[in-house]
Amino acid sequence: MDTTTPVRLYDPEFNTDPRGFYRRMRAGHGPVVPVLMDGDVPAWLVIGYRELHGVLSDSDTFARHPGRWNAWDRVPENWPLLPMLAPLPNVLCSEGDEHRRRTRAINDAVNGADPHELRTLVTRVADRLIDGFCGRGAADLRAEYAERVPALVLCRMFGLDDTTGAAVTSDMNALFNAGPDAIDAHRRMVGVFTRLITSRRAAPGPDIVSRMISHAAGYTDDDLNADLIAVLAGGHQTTGEWVGNALRLMLTDERFGSSLFGARSSAREALVEVLWEDSPSQMNAGRFASRDVELGGRMIRQGDLLLLGYAAANQDPGLRSQDEGPGRAANHAHLSFSHGEHSCPHAARGLAETMAVTAIEVLLDRLPDIELSVPADEVRWRPSPWVRGVIALPVSFTPATPQGDL
C-alpha cells in the first residue's frame, strides 16, 4: 500500500465506522497519517498513542497558534472548518505566559463554584428535565436529557437564563457540526456574550463570568468573550456526549444490564469505559509544527497542521495489549481530556464529572426500570468527525409522577 497517498477525512465511512477507519489507516499508513480535510486541505492525523502523547507533551515543537499554519492560502473564505481553526484571541489558541494566565483564570472561575451548590444545581436541572417526560413513559434521552443537563448547568453557571441558554446551545451544535451555518452561529454567540459581559461588568453576580471579569488575569471584553465561548464549547457538548454514550453503554451492554436497576456504582464505571471506547472528543484540531521535525516515521514541515486523534490513540493496539483486563475501568491513561499544557483544565474535568455522575444517578433513581425501546444496533452515531455521540437514545419506562420543585 502507498503510505504517502492522503486519506480523505470527509469519506462518509469515517462517520459511520470510525473504529474500522482508524484500523485501516493504522495498517496502511502507520501512526501519523497524511489526510485531506474538506476542500482537500492537507493535514496530518496523529493516531498512535505514543506519537500523540509526544505531540501533546512538547508544546514548543507542536505549538498551538493557528497563525503558524502553512496552508492558509488553500482555505476558502466560507470553509466550514474555519471556526475550528481560525486564530481567535482565546485560551485554545494562546501560547506561553498568555496561555497560563487564561488557564489560571478559567480554573479559578470554575473552582469558585461551591461543590455542594453545584451538585444541588445539577440535581435540580436533572429533576426538572425528567419531570418534563416522566409521565409519558418514553423519551429520547439524548435530546431531552444528556445534551440538556450540561448545557443548562453551564449556562446557569454563566448567569444566562434558560431561553438564551437554549439558543446558545443550538448555535454551539451548529458550530460542532461544521455545516454551512457554522459561521453565522459563531457570530450570534459572540453577540450573546457581548451583552452578558456588559451586564456583569455593571452588576457582578455569583457566576463564572463575573469571576473571570474580576480575575487578576485582567481580561479585555474581546478576550473574555472568546474565552467564554471556548469554555462553553469545551464543556457543554463533550459532557453531553459523555453522558449519552455512558447511558447507551449501560442500556445496551449486558454487563451493566443486571445492575442497571438502581445502579449507582456502575455509573462511574460506564463513564470511564466510555472515555476509552467512545471518547466524546474523537478528534481535535490541532497543533502546528514550529520547525521541521520527524514524527512516527514522517517528516513534518514547519507550519504543518497536526490533527489530534484522541479516540484513535486510545484504541492503539500497542497500548491495549499491555492493558487489557478488569483493572481498565480504573485506568485514566486515556487521552480523552488530552494531555500537557493545553489539556482540559483540571477544574473543568471535575465539573464534567460532577455533571455526568449526578445526571446518571438522578435518572436511575427516578426511573429505575428504564430500557432501550429500539434494538441496540439501531442506535446510530452522529455524523461528526470531531465529536462522538449518539443521534438519539429512545427509551421506555413505567410512567412516573413529576416531582415539581420539592
Which residues form the interface with ligand HEM (CB under 6 A)? Answer: 91-92, 103, 106, 110, 230-231, 234-235, 238-239, 242, 280-281, 284, 308, 310, 336-338, 342-345, 348, 351-352
For residue 284, the surrounding DSSP H or E stretch is strand 284-289
For residue 256, the surrounding DSSP H or E stretch is helix 254-257
CB of residue 281 to ligand HEM, shortest distance in Å: 4
Closer residue to ligand HEM in complex, CB, 133/314: 314
Closer residue to ligand HEM in complex, CB, 293/344: 344
The answer to whether 145 and 153 are in contact (CB under 8 A) is no
Cis peptide bond upstream of 48, omega within 30: no
CA distance 249 to 78: 38
Closer residue to ligand HEM in complex, CB, 91/129: 91
CB of residue 1 to ligand HEM, shortest distance in Å: 30
CB of residue 173 to ligand HEM, shortest distance in Å: 16
Strand segments, DSSP code E, in 333-386 are 371-372
Closer residue to ligand HEM in complex, CB, 134/172: 172
CB of residue 375 to ligand HEM, shortest distance in Å: 27
CB of residue 153 to ligand HEM, shortest distance in Å: 9
Closer residue to ligand HEM in complex, CB, 96/402: 96
The answer to whether 348 and 103 are in contact (CB under 8 A) is no
CA distance 37 to 286: 13
Query: CA angle at residue 355 from 354 to 359, to 5 degrees?
Result: 115
CB of residue 135 to ligand HEM, shortest distance in Å: 30
Residue whose C-alpha cell is 490533527: 307
Closer residue to ligand HEM in complex, CB, 266/336: 336
The answer to whether 127 and 148 are in contact (CB under 8 A) is no
Query: To the nearest 5 percent, what fractions of the chain are helix, strand and coil?
Result: 55, 10, 35
Closer residue to ligand HEM in complex, CB, 141/348: 348
CA distance 156 to 121: 9
Cα diameter, the chain: 64
Closer residue to ligand HEM in complex, CB, 113/174: 113
In the complex, residue closest to ligand HEM by CB: 234
CB of residue 355 to ligand HEM, shortest distance in Å: 7
CA distance 133 to 367: 11
Closer residue to ligand HEM in complex, CB, 190/230: 230
Question: In angstroms, what is the C-alpha Rg of the chain?
Answer: 21
- Burial pattern 153-165, b for ≥16 Cβ within 10 A else e, equals bbbbbbbbeeeeb
CA atoms within 13 A on the CB side of 237: 26
CB of residue 317 to ligand HEM, shortest distance in Å: 22
Closer residue to ligand HEM in complex, CB, 129/348: 348
CB of residue 340 to ligand HEM, shortest distance in Å: 8
CA distance 6 to 261: 48
CA distance 312 to 165: 32
- Burial pattern 362-388, b for ≥16 Cβ within 10 A else e, equals bbbebbeebebbeeeeebebbebbbbb
The answer to whether 383 and 370 are in contact (CB under 8 A) is no
CB of residue 336 to ligand HEM, shortest distance in Å: 5
